Amino acid sequence: MRTVKPKKALGQHFLRDMDIARAIAATVDARPDLPILEIGPGTGVLTQFLKERDRQLKVIEIDRESVMYLHENMPDVNVIEGDFLKLDLNGLFDGGQFVLTGNYPYNISSQIFFRMLENRELIPCCTGMLQREVAQRICSGPGNRNYGILSVLLQAWYDTEYLFTVHENVFDPPPKVKSAVLRLTRNSRTQLGCNEALFRKVVKCTFGMRRKMLRNSLRQVYEKDVPLPADSPYLDRRPEQLSVSDFISLTNMMEQAAG
Ligand code: SAH
């Protein structure tokens, strides 16, 4: 039988523990009404449990060898050969919503979540496994040392749940880091309530200098001679002390101050 040699450049770490694979597959049942897109099926460890569900399923895999393996061993699975980051998500299920899942390629996990954000109306639920450190960042709130850019940008649109931790020795080859499974569920926010481009800029700039008070880091978003909002309570704080709604208020104050 054909096997697939793990390729480091593609972030390939194949899961070997069937109980964990079954548990990850079960996370998509939060939305049993929707079809599923799995990123990076590899040799189909997760796919075999996803396809037991009576739901439409598509998988996208960039590695030719894995695609051949799936064609041979799971001929009934709808495999798209290609790069998830370039996939047209609108055309996928006739423009309909779907659940995104996978044991993600860790080297592009942040990019996967940014792409999900751009397509948030199509993806009301996203689950899956990634490196624990990134999962912790995504799921942390204000005051936590892991709270950062990904937390704020994602939590603006999604409720985040850290589901469970996975040890490195259940993979072949074992990754250098621990893993975790999470679930993101689209919240009820329909509009951000501020200029979204400026919001992103403010979040990225202030966390880029996370030990500085906002007054100092924000001078860089605003060119030196544009005034910062005069009486904002936020300027004497550090970014990790601000909630998502604080960042939204601050963005509005900055727009007003700019005139
Ligand atoms: N789901 C499998 C494999 C996980 S490893 C398991 O649990 O065992 C991550 C998988 O993502 C690999 O198969 C890798 O080839 C694939 N992959 C990496 N980059 C990708 C991309 N940009 N688009 C789609 N798949 C990708």
The pLDDT of residue 24 is 98
Which phi and psi (to 5°) does residue 13 adopt? -130, 110
| pLDDT confidence of residue 221 | 77
Give Cβ neighbours of residue 229 (< 8 Å, ≥ 6 apart).
235, 250, 253, 254, 256, 257
Mean pLDDT within 241-250: 97
The response to whether residue 128 sits with its C-beta less than 6 Å from ligand 1 reads no
Least confident of 22-31, 135-144, 172-181, 218-227: 218-227
Q: How confident is the model at residue 174 (pLDDT cuts 50, 70, 90)?
A: very high
Please give the backbone phi and psi of residue 39, each rounded to the nearest 5 degrees, phi first.
-95, 135
Among 34, 29, 24, 45, CA closest to 128? 24
Q: Is 11 in the pocket of ligand 1 (CB under 6 A)?
A: yes
Cα separation values, 60 from 78, 84, 231, Å? 9, 6, 50
pLDDT recorded at residue 226:
74
pLDDT at 2 over 70: no
pLDDT value, residue 224: 67
**pLDDT tens string 40-71:** 999 999 999 999 999 999 999 999 999 999 99
pLDDT above 60: residue 1: no
What are φ and ψ of residue 149, in 5° steps?
A: -55, -50
Mean pLDDT value across residues 79-83: 98
Task: Please indicate whether residue 105, judged by its CB atom, sits closer than 6 Å to ligand 1.
Answer: yes
pLDDT value, residue 15: 97
CB atoms near residue 94 (< 10 Å): 7
For 96-117, the pLDDT digits (tens) are 999 999 999 999 999 999 999 9
Q: Which residue has the higher pLDDT, 203 or 223?
A: 203
pLDDT at 120 over 90: yes
Q: How far is the CA of 41 from the centre of ligand 1 (A)?
A: 6
Mutate to test the pocket of ligand 1, among 27, 49, 61 (most ligand atoms within 8 A of CB): 61
Mean pLDDT over 188-199 rounds to 96
Tell me the mean pLDDT in the region 178-193: 97
The alpha carbon of 32 and the centre of ligand 1 are apart by a number of angstroms equal to 24
Query: Is the minimum distance from the CB of 93 to ligand 1 under 6 angstroms?
Result: no
Q: Provide DSSP, 86-120.
A: G--STTTTTT---EEEEB--GGGHHHHHHHHHHTT
